[in-house]
Structure 1
């Protein structure tokens, strides 16, 4: 294990034989995704991609939850120029550059040649869904709850869930989740094929993910990597175009009174009131 993977803040990497386990640590509550996460995620997956001893990766969350998603308080300072500025090109360009960096971080999961299994317990919200949508296989335990939550905070989801989930759960289910921002439980997630299987508790999930990873790791690694490459070629070309489009859309339209209301309501722990402005 390289030194850079031993001195992480938001992620922990452990390896057993040919399987690497990547665990979300936060440091925000519920493994929320702040600046450290977006910096370290691509670092980790590029290192694991280059490590020839690693054949399969499991990604999971520490504690009872996978991730609460974007750490809004931690991320808002870098967006302040866009949200409070004069609406000229410079702050929008800076926001787009940061957004593309975050998109690239999630893309690093897909670009990693090794199959990635997401093992989900508890909440998996917003950015958490972006991450598991980029994985190859998703498993959950009975406590898992999922939400494409961005619409609730006046944001168009822009890190890949809108582009990737249509091929996983279908257009109808995706539109329902993205338009409503509703929460769904593990049973519903299994019904719509968001997850392959649901296990009774976190320990059973851990065992199942480890056994599946070991089964995959027992196959010829270059052939498994070739299967991942072939399966992803059409989807990722479409995803890339969608990510460019949503990046431009959010750079143009993200600043709004509704977004300000959503952030203020979040900080004040009250329901927001949106006015369409």
Structure 2
């Protein structure tokens, strides 16, 4: 059964999750989906949403334990341990593909966003949600250490203190608290308003010069964990290489001619 669906409208790729849980097969399909989106020449922003009852309940535990069971028994030799390590890295690769998408990814979250769902949301650039959204870094409650990205990606988003509180407790966080701590940028009344807001945001991003937007994401990504001096050196080199473009000329021409710009991505 399919897990993801792609639709490209006006330079925005809408990636729809078809189900609220994540069986092992989901991760391979998400990886290929994000690779397809990343290589699409007309895509300037991505809207990630779910058509299910909730954004995501996280890992499909029965399906996961059916596949992982042989690796989770106590004891064992180095061989099964290495196999489990390889499997975890494969699952991590799906959310890495979201994070590595060269254009901004906006997550539209409704209902529950638990465990793997939060890992996925954290891999996106911007998160929006409905007023009924609930977030939980739930793995600790089921005797696991979250290993798909939340512990690494959340600290730069919400800080160490909030990340540790969520991870140590596994508590449920309502939308209002999620906005207070910076986990989401905005909260909408319902799904219809959420999707309208997310589409508007993606359209606003897509209206900008696409090479410049990609450059901003690249520079921001490089700067994580670096000093200000290192970040400045990188962006200086980036602009020295990529500042000159047809879009830069179009930006100047449209300003002088007092008309809306028409960016081509060249």
Q: TM-score, structure 1 length as denominator?
A: 0.79
1:223-262 superposed Cα distances (whole Å, 9 cap, x missing partner): 101100110124389xxxxxxxxxxxxxxxxxxxxxxxxx
> How many residues matched?
226
> How far is the alpha carbon of 1:64 from its aligned partner?
2.9
Distance of 1:23 and 1:36 partners within structure 2? 16
The aligned counterpart of 1:122 is 111
> How far is the alpha carbon of 1:145 from its aligned partner?
0.3
The aligned counterpart of 2:100 is 111
1:18-64 superposed Cα distances (whole Å, 9 cap, x missing partner): 011111112xxxx1001221110110111111101111001111133
The aligned counterpart of 1:225 is 214
Q: Does the 8 Å CA contact 1:85/1:91 hold for their aligned counterparts?
A: no
RMSD between superposed Cα atoms in Å: 1.3
Distance of 1:63 and 1:109 partners within structure 2? 20
The aligned counterpart of 2:238 is none
Asked which structure has the greater CA Rg, the reply is 2
SS of the counterpart of 1:36? helix
Q: Does the 8 Å CA contact 1:107/1:134 hold for their aligned counterparts?
A: yes
The aligned counterpart of 1:198 is 187
Correspondence 1:39-54 to 2 at 5 A: 39-54=28-43
Distance verdict in 2 for CA 1:134–1:185, change over 3 Å = same
Distance verdict in 2 for CA 1:236–1:116, change over 3 Å = farther
1:22 to 4, 15, 18: 15
SS of the counterpart of 1:118? strand
Correspondence 1:130-141 to 2 at 5 A: 130-141=119-130
1:157 equivalent to 2:150? Answer no
Q: Does the 8 Å CA contact 1:9/1:36 hold for their aligned counterparts?
A: no
> How far is the alpha carbon of 1:138 from its aligned partner?
0.4
Distance verdict in 2 for CA 1:145–1:167, change over 3 Å = same
Which of structure 1's runs of 4+ aligned residues deviate more than 4 A?
A: none
| Structure 1: runs of 5 or more not aligned | 1-7, 238-277
SS of the counterpart of 2:203? helix
SS of the counterpart of 1:164? helix
> How far is the alpha carbon of 1:85 from its aligned partner?
5.9
> How far is the alpha carbon of 1:213 from its aligned partner?
0.2
Q: Does the 8 Å CA contact 1:82/1:91 hold for their aligned counterparts?
A: yes
Distance of 1:84 and 1:140 partners within structure 2? 38
| Structure 2: runs of 5 or more not aligned | 227-266
1:215 equivalent to 2:204? Answer yes
The aligned counterpart of 1:68 is 57
The aligned counterpart of 2:254 is none
The aligned counterpart of 2:224 is 235
> How far is the alpha carbon of 1:84 from its aligned partner?
2.5
The aligned counterpart of 2:47 is 58
Q: TM-score, structure 2 length as denominator?
A: 0.82
The aligned counterpart of 1:88 is 77
Most deviating of 188-197 and 60-69? 60-69
